[in-house]
Amino acid sequence: MQSAWLALEDGTVFEGRSFGAPVERSGEVVFNTSLTGYQEIFTDPSYSGQIVILTNPQIGNYGTAGSDSEAAKPYIEGLVVRDFSSLTSNWRSDTEARDFLSKNNIPVVSDLDTRALVRHLRSRGVMRGVLSTLESDPEKLVAKARAIPSMAGLDLATRVSTSESYQWDQPITPCSPSELLKPPAELKHHVVAFDYGIKRNILRRLVHSGCKVTVVPALTSAEDVLALKPDGVFLSNGPGDPEPLTRQIEIIQKLIGKTPIFGICLGQQVLGLAMGGSTYKLKFGHRGGNHPVRNERTKRVEITAQ
């Protein structure tokens, strides 16, 4: 292991140890409060351009499994954890988590006070940062953090989107033979899914619900989408700021009223902007599998993943 540093644009510097790729990475520093699902976080395109802090105190104890990835590769810029387990215990695991990250050139900092770091971001808001094993001078690292371009105004969705359309037909795969997850007998509905950074499990859920799914690039024209004769259009999750996605918004405006449209995450924001709404950035985004939301119909509080 070697020393590593995380420097924030407000001048705060944290020191830890690194066993991942010996590189220097920069990005928006954010935190996720999920207790499990770290591999899904690593490979979620929504985290493109971000250094992720995991609040769960130990990470890596169940390794990684190829079928659990949300995309073909990790999208995080770097990872910050309190403790990275040296042991893996999971019959489904095919690669240790640290090896998975190292092979993909993702730097990892452990033995860092993640509680203090998250409390700092919670009170100050997310900010730009540099994660480095190559530079130890705090002033130089902070200067680099302040020089990072803001994510505001960037079209990251097009950057992570597929370049070609494709069919997705894989349903949810049970973790064990005892799970009663029967695939649908028939795919009755055709859904066209815009890929702004779509996760594989979203596609599996659509198929499991009885949908034939065609995934299309983020800038596919409304005319080309309607030519596919969809029963509905799905707008996916994705990274970054929705407001600069003017071309995507114009496409959705042409589809409104012609086919049912459903959006999640970034896709929901694109749909809102297409219908005349506005968006603003939260002090720190909701990232985790344990966010309470009140259902206004039932008045019950439900735990959601965001």
> How many residues would you count in the chain?
306
Which residues on adjacent β-strands are paired with residue 25? Answer: 131
pLDDT tens digits along 289-302: 888 999 999 999 99
When pLDDT is averaged across residues 172-189 and rounded to a whole number, the result is: 72
pLDDT tens digits along 281-291: 888 778 888 88
> How confident is the model at residue 89, as a pLDDT?
93
When pLDDT is averaged across residues 26-34 and rounded to a whole number, the result is: 96
Query: What is the residue-averaged pLDDT of the chain?
Result: 93
Long-range contacts of 270-276 (CB under 8 A, 24+ apart): 270/196, 270/235, 270/242, 270/245, 271/235, 273/242, 273/243, 273/245, 273/249, 274/249, 274/250
Rg over CA atoms, the chain? 20
When pLDDT is averaged across residues 45-52 and rounded to a whole number, the result is: 96
Listed residue (104, 103, 61) closest to 81, CA to CA: 61
> How confident is the model at residue 245, as a pLDDT?
97
pLDDT tens digits along 195-224: 999 999 999 999 999 999 999 999 999 999
pLDDT tens digits along 58-73: 999 999 999 999 999 9
pLDDT at 175 over 90: no
- Phi, psi (degrees; rounded to nearest 5) at 251: -65, -45
When pLDDT is averaged across residues 98-105 and rounded to a whole number, the result is: 93
Q: How confident is the model at residue 104 (pLDDT cuts 50, 70, 90)?
A: very high
Count other Cβ atoms within 10 Å, centred on residue 136. Answer: 13
pLDDT tens digits along 250-272: 999 999 999 999 999 999 999 99
High-pLDDT (> 90) share of the chain, %: 81
pLDDT at 194 over 90: yes
Give yes or no for a contact between 232 and 191, defined as CB atoms under 8 angstroms apart: yes
Parallel, antiparallel, or unpaired for β 232-235 and 189-195?
Answer: parallel
pLDDT at 19 over 80: no
For the CA atoms of 51, 57, 60, 65, the dihedral, rounded to the nearest 10 degrees, stands at -80
Q: How confident is the model at residue 306 (pLDDT cuts 50, 70, 90)?
A: confident
pLDDT at 31 over 70: yes
Weakest mean pLDDT among 143-157, 179-193, 197-211? 179-193
All structural domains of the chain with their residue ranges: 3-152, 157-280
Give yes or no for a contact between 102 and 78, defined as CB atoms under 8 angstroms apart: no
> How confident is the model at residue 178, as a pLDDT?
58
> How confident is the model at residue 177, as a pLDDT?
60
Domain 3-152 falls under CATH 3.40.50.11900 = no
Give yes or no for a contact between 82 and 112, defined as CB atoms under 8 angstroms apart: yes
Q: Does the CA dihedral 275-276-277-279 come out positive or negative? A: positive
| CATH class of the domain defined by 157-280 | alpha beta
pLDDT at 176 over 70: no
Weakest mean pLDDT among 14-18, 99-103, 176-180, 244-248? 176-180
